Amino acid sequence: MMKTKILLADDHAILREGLRSLFSNHPDMEVVGEAPNGISVRQKAQILAPDVILMDINMPELNGMATTQLIKQQFPDMHIIGLSIYCERQFILGMLGAGASGYLIKSNAFQDIRNAIQLVLKGYIVLGQEAQMTVFKDYQRILTEKCLLKSELSETEQKVIYGLSAGKSILQLAGDLEIDTDEVEKLQTRFVRDWISMS
């Protein structure tokens, strides 16, 4: 079985140790390295070639957004998930705009991190519930201001945006709309890319 290689990037040793311990219970994933600052993350990304980097935003020497941008320029296929205490729009937009494939808050459950890793490897953009609500409330505002929400989107697409902005999970929305979860994931990913380009 091929293991997903993970690099932990955070300046707090206790968080890295906690995540490493949790990942050790899952044989399909392996923590291949840790880094306490942006410069170290870049170096270890080159040496270890991880599949996924869990990236803190507020790190010394080089912050998570700048580090993400530099790594994605060099390794466009490497997946990066922002992992932060911040849920404000500018931080989420900064990470996703730099090339991250996901954004989670550190209060999210470990299972959310595992699920996010599996989804970004399939090409989706993944948001934790708090980040999701921030992004989609803002996206809904932009579309409404531009008079695009009802004129350009189908009823199903509008319901997905409303549901995501209200904090509904992908599973809940798929059940409500009687569509496949994969379809909701695809729509969310498309909408997040639109939000980044319009912001």
Q: Is the pLDDT of residue 1 over 80?
A: no
Please state the pTM of the whole predicted model: 0.95
Residues in the chain: 199
* Contact present, 71 and 78 (Cβ < 8 Å): yes
Counting beta carbons within 10 angstroms of the beta carbon of residue 79, is it exposed (0 to 12), middle (13 to 18) or buried (19 or more)?
buried
63-72 pLDDT, tens digit each? 999 999 999 9
Q: Which of 149, 102, 155 is nearest to 129 (CA)?
A: 102
CATH code: domain 4-127 is 3.40.50.2300
pLDDT at 23: 97
Q: ∠ CA 102-56-45 to the nearest 5 degrees? A: 85
* Helical (H) or strand (E) element with 57: none
pLDDT at 82: 98
- The contacts of residue 147 (CB under 8 Å, 6+ apart) are none
* Contact present, 139 and 161 (Cβ < 8 Å): yes
Q: Quick one: tokens of 72?
A: 């994605």
CA 44 to chain centre: 20
118-176 pLDDT, tens digit each? 999 999 999 999 999 999 999 999 999 999 998 999 999 999 999 999 999 999 999 99
Tally Cβ neighbours within 10 Å of residue 57: 22
Q: Is the pLDDT of residue 2 over 90?
A: no
Question: Which 8-state DSSP code applies to residue 147?
Answer: T
Over the Cα atoms of the chain, what is R_g? 17
Instruction: Give the CA diameter of the chain.
Output: 50
Strands 79-84 and 102-105, how do they pair? parallel
Q: Which of 61, 50, 69, 71 is nearest to 8 (CA)?
A: 50
Domain coordinates in residue numbering, the chain: 4-127, 131-198
Q: State residue 8 phi and psi, 5-degree precision.
A: -95, 120
* Contact present, 16 and 8 (Cβ < 8 Å): yes
